[in-house]
């Protein structure tokens, strides 16, 4: 089944507490998967993340010390269909704005490779190895305005901009060919990071039927 991005929610809030919650609509389908990336100031850490009361699994918890930000990537296979609550919990009260990106997919078997590029002036490029028909989610944290990202040589409009005392943006590729690709986050000046993560297509099962040497003769 082809990997398809079915719905996204991009949410920014100043929780002023140790948790936040909002709704995300996860469309039904085969091989559904939900991916969430949370970005905030690194004054606190992440705790449990849930979708419709079910714990999500941590892929990466990255501290960008030079930018004073922390970014966490979480996922859950076969999430509940429909409009459900996303619960984000912290180790202590977070009094700074938080950026959350939630993405739903069908035809997905999970997350693949991911890579972090620390803060760099003007732009930050990373190389990542991917499988056939994967998508790449790319996000950057910057100290000034960002420009559209470049994924595998193609520039497309970023999906959101969140001001959380730093600027956070994100972009999702179309289905890509296998191999090593380059992703580039861009800012007008000063510093920007790059986090890229692969979303894997669930490969179709091989066809069943007559095996080799068991063909029917032509009439």
pLDDT digits (tens, 9 = 90+) for 155-196: 999 999 999 999 999 999 999 999 999 999 999 888 999 999
pLDDT at 204: 59
pLDDT at 218: 42
Q: What is the average pLDDT across 149-157?
A: 96
* Residue pLDDT, tens place only, 188-204: 888 999 999 999 999 85
pLDDT at 119: 81
In this predicted structure, the answer to whether residue 153 has a pLDDT above a threshold of 90 is yes
Q: From the CA atom positions of the chain, what is the Rg in Å? A: 19
List beta partners, residue 22: 86
pLDDT at 135: 98
In this predicted structure, the answer to whether residue 213 has a pLDDT above a threshold of 50 is no
Alpha carbon separation from 217 to 51, 58, 66, 128, 213 (Å, rounded): 55, 55, 70, 48, 11
| Phi/psi of residue 83, nearest 5 degrees | -85, 110
Q: What is the mean pLDDT of the chain?
A: 93
In this predicted structure, the answer to whether residue 67 has a pLDDT above a threshold of 80 is yes
pLDDT above 90 covers a percentage of the chain that reads: 88
Q: Whole-model pTM?
A: 0.91
Task: Name the residue with tokens 């979708």.
Answer: 51
pLDDT at 29: 97
Q: What is the average pLDDT across 117-136?
A: 93
Closest among 113, 126, 133 to 177, alpha carbons compared? 133
Q: What is the average pLDDT across 88-96?
A: 98
User: What are the respective helix, strand and coil percentages of the chain, to the nearest 5?
Assistant: 0, 70, 30
């Amino acid at each position: 089944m082809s990997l398809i991005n079915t719905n996204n929610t991009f949410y920014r809030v100043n929780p002023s507490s140790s948790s936040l919650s909002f709704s995300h609509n996860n469309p039904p389908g085969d091989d559904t998967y939900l991916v969430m990336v949370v970005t905030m100031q690194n004054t606190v850490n992440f705790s449990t993340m849930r979708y419709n009361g079910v714990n999500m699994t941590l892929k990466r918890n990255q501290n960008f010390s030079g930018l004073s930000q922390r970014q966490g990537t979480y996922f859950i296979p076969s999430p509940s269909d429909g409009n459900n609550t996303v619960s984000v919990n912290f180790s202590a009260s977070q009094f700074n704005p938080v950026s959350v990106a939630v993405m739903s997919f069908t035809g997905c078997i999970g997350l693949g490779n991911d890579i972090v590029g620390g803060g760099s002036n003007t732009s930050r490029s990373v190389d990542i190895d991917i499988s056939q028909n994967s998508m790449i989610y790319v996000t950057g944290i910057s100290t000034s305005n960002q420009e559209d990202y470049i994924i595998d040589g193609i520039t497309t409009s970023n999906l959101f901009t969140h001001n959380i005392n730093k600027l956070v943006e994100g972009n999702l590729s179309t289905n890509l060919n296998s191999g090593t690709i380059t992703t580039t986050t861009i800012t007008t000046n000063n510093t920007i990071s790059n986090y890229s993560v692969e979303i894997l297509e669930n490969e179709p099962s091989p066809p069943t039927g007559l095996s080799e040497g068991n063909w029917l003769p032509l009439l």
